[in-house]
Chain A
Amino acid sequence: MTPERPPGGSGPSRLVRFGFELLLRIFPGRFRSRFGDSMRETFDLRYRELRAVSRRSLLFFLLKTATNMPASGLRERVQRPHPHPDSPAGRARRESHRNQNTGSLLMDTLRQDLAFALRSLARNRTFSLAALLTLALGIGATTSIFSVVNGVLLKPLPFQDQDRLVSVFTVSEEHPDSRGNMSGPDMADLADTPALETAVGFMRGTATLTGRGEARLVSDARVSEGLLSTFGLQPFMGRDLRPEESIPGAPRSVVIGYGFWREELGESPDALGQTLELQGDTYEIVGVAPPGFEFPEGARLWRPYYRSDEGCGRGCHVYYSVGRLADGASLEQAREQAEALALRLDEQFPDSNYEKRFNLMTLEDDVVGEIRADLWILLAAVTLVLLVACANVANLLLARAQGRMGEVGIRAAMGAGRMRLLQQVLTESLVLALMGGGLGVALTFVGVDMLKGMAPESLPRVDEITLDSSVLAFALLLSLAVSLVFGLSPALRLARSSPADALGRSRRGGDAGRAGSRSRSLLLASEVALSLILLVGAGLLLRTLGELKSIQPGFRTEQITRFTLSIPESTYPELEEVAGFYERLEERLAAIPGVESVGSTFGAALGSMSATGVAQVEGRPEPPPGEEIPARLRPVTPGYLETMGIPVLTGRGIEPSDRAGTMEVALINETLAAALFPDEDPLGKRLSVSVDFGFGSPARTIVGVVADTRMRALTSAAPGAFYVPQRQYGPSFMTVAVRSRPGAGNLMESIRREVASLDPNLPLRNVETMRQVVDAEMAPTRFFLTLLGVFAGLAVVLASVGLYGVATYMVSRRRQEIGIRMALGAESGRVTGMVVRQAAAPVLLGVLVGLATAMAGARVMEGFLFQVNPRDPLVFVGVTGLLVAVSFLATLLPARQASRVDPGEALRRE
């Protein structure tokens, strides 16, 4: 007979196979070699069969297997090898096995065991409390990190057919993995490749909302064509944006987010057809997006982007672009077609597309790809803490098991079955783990809030991090797993105890005592090793933070507040009005008591806007493609360099007299000077910078060289910069920096008042101090450092508590021996040394294993580090020293107690 339907679904994943492999290990080796292969195959076939049926039955099967395998494996283990059926032992065995196959009896004993476990936990309060707290910390920390992993990585994005959504970027041939914006024409060509159904561009930004109370900023996105259809979504109300609405002159329409509709319009059913004043224009609300749709991150309004190719063609990379794969097309195909298109465009439009390529990735990778590895590493790190916690509890249980050997031996002698004993001890572990898990979940409530508060802004999907049912299920499974991890070895030891133990043979270190001390030492060694690994990680991050802090950004970071203004073209149409506005503004701000200086720039350091173009020295031939020298174009007002503390090295700075009508001047920074004029004096030379979309500057006379400043990120070298007087150039979008005198307090109130007195309809964007800006750059490092530091600290504390406990236990068991030694004249120093030496062995072993593992796995940390070698000797030596010192202290106390043993008293106790 064979099964009627051949199993259909796909086989178990590697993780599941690994899990089954672990479960198999619970069986004795003899059994495994006999049936292991068959069991694997049966599992595999059953898995395929049920997978084809339903997820539910598959899950049920996995759960049942996860409980049945350990139970069967343990039974197999505690029973002696199968005796010959005709021997008396064989007969007795069959009798006993008969007794184990009964269901109702099982429930009875379970109830008994539960009651017993609770009684015994209540009796040993100190032990229970220590074990519970340890477990709660471990499980709570692990569950908290899991909730982050779950929210950010595991929950699906709120789109239909997430797998078919791809992000599309323009990249240079040199940096194929970077993510640059797309230009409109490139995007349109890409959308025409057969593998892509559509490609839509977004311009993220903020819009000024007026006419509804105070003027304020709303995050919005401007869309090249359509919106929701790309994501396979239907509007909650009304309709989607239409492609034809992106043509200049079309009526102005806006789709509002569900959150905006709820909070700003009070869920009004008549929202459709109402109007919003955005950036001074009137838009009609045509639709409400479905709940949860806030793409790109945080957008609350979506308006069409009015395409106009004037001055903004292929070279104008403004769109963050999302495409949808055509039915049946794979990402690979889309990539191939995009590559072919890029090569064609490269040839056809060398001015704009020279060595430009396209980078396609799934939207999911785009949103969470960068953080994915980091979060898994974090989860791995916290799992190490949990393992340390388990080892500690196992140690506590082992010590207690040793104390119970006598009692259990008597029970074994009186005929208690091994299985029964094992079951009882395991029940106790389970109760402990579940209670610890419950406490841990309570801690998770706090932990998740803390994590969300600490998370750097670069962490996506923070709002999705919640304690939902999958997190709770995780905590439950974790508790079950944990109970096996820490409960198994003590339980097996107890179940193996023989009647001889009851007769006291083991009380002074017989076979059983030695085996017990060996498992304790191994547990300690693994605690030390795990702690060391975590300490190395934390140490490396600490060094990285130090490196980050020692970076000289090239500008002041203290006492400076900055904000961004964008003055509307309708009120300030010409350069004269724009320059006049900023001049008046800076005068007023400078007059505020406490303000030391004021200056403005476009493309501020570590900001989101910048314009980079190609520098061209007048009179030199045009550089061949690929050898252009890039320069950041930075319009500044006269006070900017002084406010930010950027020194002028040669020549002069930007003067108030550099205004329209006077000589067109510019400053360059050291990097640009070195690149363009390695052997010449740059002063007096004329230089132009051409940026796409008409944002370039014709040739200007260089009148000064200033020091470098870091621009893109603290960790990336300063780019070449080309400073031009804002009064000769514009633009209307500027970042204003205000430096205050020390002790001037918060001036924001006065600053806002002055801005409003000039123009009441101007909201201040991105108000931040330079300290905040710089700190935000270090936030991810700080975040991971804090967490790894906490984990490492927890692990070290747990490990030293474990060491202390074991050393104390050791001393108490050897009191008589120590007493005799001292009676025979051993000095107290020697006794102390003896105890410390004995505890040193597992510490040493743990340090060696930990160091080797950390060395081998150091590369995991590479992505987190900046100018720190993942095998930094300073870190390795430092944390080893720290750990050894802590371990030494943890054993010193019990060792000194040992040296104070009174020989007479110790001997009398016998």
Chain B
Amino acid sequence: MHSTCNKHEPVADERTRIPGTPGTTWTRQDDQEQNVKVENTHPEGLPLSALDLQVLLVLSRSDLYGYAIMKEVETLSEGLLSPEIGSLYRVLGRLMDMGWVGEAPAPADEPDGHRGKPRRYYRITEQGRTVARAELNRLKKVLDHAGKLAPEAVG
């Protein structure tokens, strides 16, 4: 996931941003492209890194604890993403700081026959869902846009 240095990608810019709640609409003329107008519903902090997005997506299916997130990301990305422990928890920390992920109580029937101290479970917030949706939308648009420019590359 390379989100910078991408000439085809609209980038949020301080000067054109209209202050407001997440989901503000704005338009921006991309100076690199031939007057393509991109309209976007964009919350703060997009685009997300690949791992950010994956964690949000995984958590949108169910509440999970750390190791399970790791396994799920691995499974759902078909092995493409295999998060390291350090990176995973940094991402979790960041997503929590952003208010996109919160903590959840451990379910009564913990899997794996877990005993001892209850695990910390993480749950996606409403805001987190919005952000994930927005990011998927953005990606889709990027793809659509790329499809128009170079149909053979996108297929």
Residues of A within 8 A of B (CB): 1-3, 6-7, 23, 27, 31, 34-35, 37-39, 41-43, 45-46, 64-65, 68-73, 75-76, 82, 85-86, 91, 94, 97-99, 101-105
Contact = CB atoms under 8 A, between A and B. Distances in A.
B66 A2 contact: no
Given A101-B3, A102-B2, A94 B44 contact: yes
A711 B49 CA distance: 77
A112 to B, nearest CB: 16
A99 B2 CA distance: 9
22 contacts: A2-B68, A3-B112, A27-B86, A35-B93, A37-B117, A38-B89, A39-B66, A39-B85, A41-B119, A42-B88, A46-B70, A68-B84, A68-B85, A69-B84, A69-B85, A72-B84, A85-B97, A85-B99, A99-B4, A101-B49, A103-B2, A104-B2
Contact of A42 (B5, B67, B97): B67
B67 to A, nearest CB: 4
B4 A98 contact: yes
Contacts of B14: 91
A102 B1 CA distance: 7
Interface stretch (B34-42, B57-65, B135-143, B145-153): B57-65
Interface in B8-55: 14, 44-45, 47, 49-51
A593 B128 CA distance: 102
Nearest to A99: B4
Contact of A68 (B5, B65, B87, B112): B87
A579 B151 CA distance: 108
B98 interface: yes
A850 B124 CA distance: 53
Nearest to B90: A72
For the complex of A and B, 8 pairs with smallest distance between CB atoms: A72-B86, A68-B84, A2-B111, A82-B97, A3-B71, A101-B49, A45-B67, A42-B66
Given A6-B113, A98-B4, 16 more contacts: A1-B68, A3-B75, A6-B112, A31-B89, A35-B92, A38-B119, A41-B65, A41-B66, A41-B67, A43-B85, A65-B85, A68-B85, A68-B87, A69-B84, A91-B44, A98-B47
Given A1-B61, A1-B68, A45-B67, A39 B111 contact: no
B94 interface: yes
Contacts of B7: none
Nearest to B3: A98
A39 B89 contact: yes
Given A37-B117, A91-B44, A98-B49, A1 B72 contact: yes
B63 to A, nearest CB: 9
A515 B15 CA distance: 41
Contact of B45 (A7, A64, A94): A94
Contacts of B51: 101
Contacts of A42: 66-67, 70, 85, 88-89
Nearest to B84: A68
Nearest to A88: B14
A426 B60 CA distance: 38
Given A6-B112, A41-B66, A102-B2, A69 B97 contact: no
B108 to A, nearest CB: 14
Contact of A85 (B44, B68, B70, B87): B44
Contact of A1 (B44, B62, B85): B62
Contacts of A76: 90, 93
A94 B5 CA distance: 16
